[in-house]
Amino acid sequence: MSIVREGLVKQRTWSEDELAEARQLLELCDRFEGLSLKLDVGMLRFREGKETNDFLYYEDGKLVGLLALDELGAEDREMTGGVHPEYRRRGIFSRLLAAAKDEARSRGTERLILVCERFSRSGQGFVAAIGAAYDFSEHRMVLTDFKERGGYQERISLRKAGAEDVEDLAVITAMSFGHSVEGSRRKTLENMAGPHVQYYLGKLGEEAVGCLNLYEAEKEYGIYGFAVLLPYRGRGFGRQMLEQVIKEVRAMSEKGVALEVETNNENAIGLYRSCGFRETTTFGYYTIDLLK
């Protein structure tokens, strides 16, 4: 006999029926406000069950609220979610957030980063109500019309990276994004342990000059951590890396390709547009300090 769920539920792993419920809820939330929530059902499917990262809320046996934490990160954890439009203004997301805070604190997490679309009236209202501090914004860009340039005088090679490349990846990431090498090394190793993340290393001859990682979601591949060392920028290496990874994705799958870029990074936005990417929405990132 199936158990009817009610109230707050902490979830570690997902059945196919539960994933179908989550997908239905998220699609409803998206349609209601014309959004694109940054929550992929494929991420939920890959939960290994080692820790609680998902918080659900049921009324009358129906899933009406969902909040999910990113599995990556130690001090910081991104989170997002939604509540059924007919069940809003009942404190459901506040209860989900309170449970997520308690769980995150118990694991030593210092900050939760709430991801909310710029055009979500309900989301922006919630952010203001809880006093989360705005950090930065990113455009989500989707590849719509791939434009390969080719004809490069200097050629860069891009290959899949493994454990032996972690130091190169960490140094490039740290120098490009202003992080510590130690923190970048730790995050790279965490990401590599996941079943759906593949790192790539760009090399000019024997010199490691750039990197990126490819995340396989349910409906698309996401390009993350894309970086080229400063002395090698402006020479077409970044575009070559993008072209090569896009061609590899298209050779193995019919899934789309997407990425995110800070709204003030005009050079990167110009590069992505020239390759055929187009903005589809904008995410704001809001910090909740758990140490206060």
Q: Is residue 214 part of a domain?
A: yes
Q: How many domains does the chain have?
A: 2
Q: What 3-state DSSP class applies to 117? A: strand
Same domain, yes or no: 155 and 111 = no
Q: Which of the listed residues 77, 112, 137 is the one where a domain comes to its end?
A: 137
Please name the amino acid found at residue 212. L
Instruction: Assess whether 19 and 128 both reside in one domain.
Output: yes
Within-domain flag for 177: yes
Residue that is last in its domain, among 74, 109, 137: 137
The string of DSSP codes covering 168-224 is: HHHHHHHHHHT--HHHHHHHHHHHHTSTTEEEEEEEETTEEEEEEEEEE-SSEEEEE
- One domain for residues 29 and 65: yes
Handedness of CA 282, 253, 46, 16 (dihedral sign): positive
The mean-pLDDT minimum among 69-73, 80-84, 130-134, 146-150 falls in 69-73
Q: What is the pLDDT of residues 13-31, one digit of tens each?
A: 999 999 999 999 999 999 9
Domain contains 286: no
Residues 129 and 152 in one domain: no
Positive or negative, the CA dihedral 289, 103, 108, 37 is negative
Identify whether 107 is part of a domain: yes
pLDDT tens sequence across 35-86? 889 998 988 998 888 899 999 999 989 999 999 998 766 688 999 999 999 9
Boundaries of domain holding 231:
146-275
Q: Is residue 179 part of a domain?
A: yes
DSSP 8-state secondary structure symbol assigned to residue 68 = E
**% of the chain at pLDDT higher than 70:** 98
Asked if residue 281 belongs to a domain, the reply is: no
The residue count of the chain comes to 292
Q: Are residues 209 and 270 in the same domain?
A: yes
Whether residues 103 and 157 share a domain: the answer is: no
Q: Are residues 123 and 152 in the same domain?
A: no
Residues 118, 173, single domain; the answer is no
Res 123 pLDDT > 70? yes
Same domain, 38 and 72: yes
First to last CA, the chain: 44
Q: What is the largest CA-CA distance in the chain?
A: 67
Instruction: Please state the pTM of the whole predicted model.
Output: 0.89
- So what's the pLDDT on residue 46? 85
Average pLDDT, the chain: 93
The predicted model gives 103-132 an average pLDDT of 94
Domain match, 32 and 122 both? yes
Question: Residue 291 falls within a domain, yes or no?
Answer: no
Q: Are 246 and 143 in contact (CB under 8 A)?
A: yes
CATH number of the domain where residue 84 is located: 3.40.630.30
The answer on pLDDT for 1 being more than 60 is no
113: in domain: yes
Task: Specify the higher pLDDT residue, 225 or 151.
Answer: 225
pLDDT one-digit tens code per residue, 178-195: 999 999 999 899 889 888
Integer Cα distance of 160 and 229 in angstroms: 18
Please tell me whether residues 214 and 104 are part of one structural domain: no
Same domain for 183 and 208, yes or no, is: yes
State the pLDDT confidence band at 2, using cuts at 50, 70 and 90. Answer: low
Among 72-76, 98-102, 144-148, 165-169, the minimum mean pLDDT is found in 72-76
The residue among 137, 157, 174 that closes a domain is 137
